[in-house]
Amino acid sequence: MNATILLNNEKHYPVLLDEILSIISPQNGGTFIDCTLGQGGYSNAILTFNETNVIAIDRDPDIKIIAQKIKSQNKNRFSFFNKKFSEIDKIQTNNFDVKAVIFDLGYSYNQIKDPKKGLSFESKGKLNMKLGLNSFSADEVINKLDQKDLELIFKYFGEEKDSKVISKKIVEHRLRSNLDTEKLVNIINSVKKKRGRTHNATKIFQAIRIFVNKEISELVYGLINSTRILDIDGIILAVSFHSLEDRIIKYFLKSLSEDKKISRYFPEEENHNKMFELVSKKPIFPSQKEISINKPSRSAKLRYAIKKKNVINFEKDILKKFSKLLEIENLSSKLWKILLLLFA
């Protein structure tokens, strides 16, 4: 997993920023929703254009400090909500016409380096991985969930081929004592033979992080709900860093941009419902120049589509398509029951 923002000589590099600005045209003004404020790279860039307003969201409460700084420089043109972007349809847009909704998924370098968040393999102590506004942590997932459930999480969210052995070892080891980050990494290293430059624990850590932060439902509902608040001709843009996220974004934008029959009872000429226009089926990748400055940007993919009609009856198809992944995320309700019994 890669972060979109890297600190290199104390400078931030928002991924694919030039490409995003050229798609959303902030020079023409308008209201933009930055669903993942992070270090403020996109919001600050949009606000350099005088006629713009930015509404920003981030689930991490630590980002409030960044939001306060942007607010102090842009007073009435900037507002921030410490919320999850799946709730985008519940935020106050002050009846502005929303020209674009932007998602830059994942987490930033500052978050990986924050020892209390425990996102890195090098973190010490108790497992965590909560980005903010969570119901449970990685500690509870790894030390409480059944072997079978852990295996499913690793297999589907990490696409880890050694899911079965790793989950078995976890359950064996935790009988002796609770697992922390270091112990978990040691278990993974004992199963996997070191190959290539990618850390052995990458896939398992990705899987746990997705589960702890409910990243699948966040993305699915974030996309679904953003279609409702966008103005006609408004744009949804999403930058992703791994294949699972990209698969969801690709399917979602393609599905909305297909010519679907509204009803078999409608006359043919009125029976079309192409709600979005997909400008290109292919994603946009960072340039070689950007990759040379910010290496982790190499795995970024940007997709976007333009709203052409008000959206109706499209969620079912998306929810069905990703039902298996959503079902696995809902194993968290099992975790809740275990925790309630433990504390009863």
Ligand X SMILES: C[S@@+](CC[C@H](N)C(=O)[O-])C[C@H]1O[C@@H](n2cnc3c(N)ncnc32)[C@H](O)[C@@H]1O
Interface ranges with ligand X (CB under 6 A): 3-5, 14, 36, 38-42, 57-60, 63, 84-85, 104, 106-108, 131, 218
Query: Quick check: 5 and 14 in contact, CB under 8 A?
Result: yes
| Choice between 36 and 299, CB closer to ligand X | 36
Q: Which is nearer to ligand X, 36 or 257 (CB)?
A: 36
Measured from the CB atom, the residue of 80 and 154 that comes closer to ligand X is 80
Tell me phi and psi for residue 283, to 5 degrees.
-75, 165
In the complex, least distance from residue 279 CB atom to ligand X, rounded to whole angstroms: 21
H/E element, 275: none
Cβ–Cβ under 8 Å, residues 299 and 225: no
Q: State in angstroms the smallest separation of the CB of 265 from ligand X.
A: 39
Q: Is the CB of 106 or the CB of 118 nearer to ligand X?
A: 106
Query: CB–CB of 88/225 below 8 Å?
Result: yes
Compare residues 49 and 308 and give the one whose CB is closer to ligand X: 49
Beta strands at 276-278 and 301-307: parallel, antiparallel or unpaired = antiparallel
Query: 32: helix, coil or strand?
Result: strand
- Look at the alpha carbons of 102, 222, 106, 155 in this order and tell me if their dihedral is positive or negative: negative
The residue (of 35 and 187) whose beta carbon lies closer to ligand X is 35
CB 62 to ligand X: min, Å: 8
Q: Which residues contact 259 (CB under 8 A, 6 or more apart)?
A: 272, 273, 274
Cα 326 to Cα 169: distance, rounded to the nearest angstrom: 26
Nearer to ligand X, 26 or 106 (CB): 106
User: Residue 103 — φ and ψ, nearest 5°?
Assistant: -115, 130
For residue 218, the minimal CB distance to ligand X (Å) is 4
* Location of structure tokens 């070191």: 194
CB 249, min distance to ligand X, A: 14
Residue 70 CB, shortest distance to ligand X, in Å, is 11
Q: How far is CA 168 from CA 38, 82, 105, 163, in A?
A: 36, 38, 31, 8
Asked whether the beta carbons of 36 and 104 are under 8 A apart, the reply is yes
CB of 307 to ligand X, least distance (A): 21
Residue 234 sits at φ, ψ, to 5 deg, of: -75, 160
* DSSP state letters, 120-142: STT--SS-----SS-S--HHHHH
Q: Which is nearer to ligand X, 104 or 149 (CB)?
A: 104
